[in-house]
Amino acid sequence: MSAKVLWSPQARKDLLNIYAVISRDNQAAAERYFARFQDKAARLSQHPRLGQRRADIAASVRQLVEPPFLMLYEVFPDHGDEAVTEIVIVRIVDGRRRPSGFLAL
């Protein structure tokens, strides 16, 4: 059974901002990043615990990497061996920044 993948409003905003900034210099590169983020989100529906935990950001946050960006997400439920029913992508951030404040909206 696949889990439902949701994008938080902030994650959608992050994705659009990344696209806008990259497309100023290279439209094709912006399209590639956009597609890679969409592909990662789709992969999460089948493998929700694929990403590494980032307890330094928040106890429940996991990450997938698309250099230099981090796709931060949470799974629900997030305990035991229960099947994950929902995944929320909470942010897409520049991984070169300090992790403090990543989840501050």
* Mean pLDDT, the chain cut into blocks of 10 residues (105 residues total): 93 97 98 97 95 91 96 92 94 87 61
* Residue carrying the six token digits 């330094």: 56
Instruction: Give the C-alpha distances (Å, rounded to integers) separating 28 from 76, 77, 86.
Output: 35, 37, 31
According to DSSP, the β-strands at 4-7 and 86-94 are parallel
Helix, strand, coil abundance in the chain, percent, nearest 5: 35, 25, 40
pLDDT of residue 101: 67
pTM (global) more than 0.85: yes
Structure token pair of residue 89? 């992508």
Domain spanning 4-94, CATH class:
alpha beta
Domain residue extents for the chain: 4-94
Structure token pair of residue 28? 């094709």
Beta bridge partners of residue 26, listed in sequence order: none
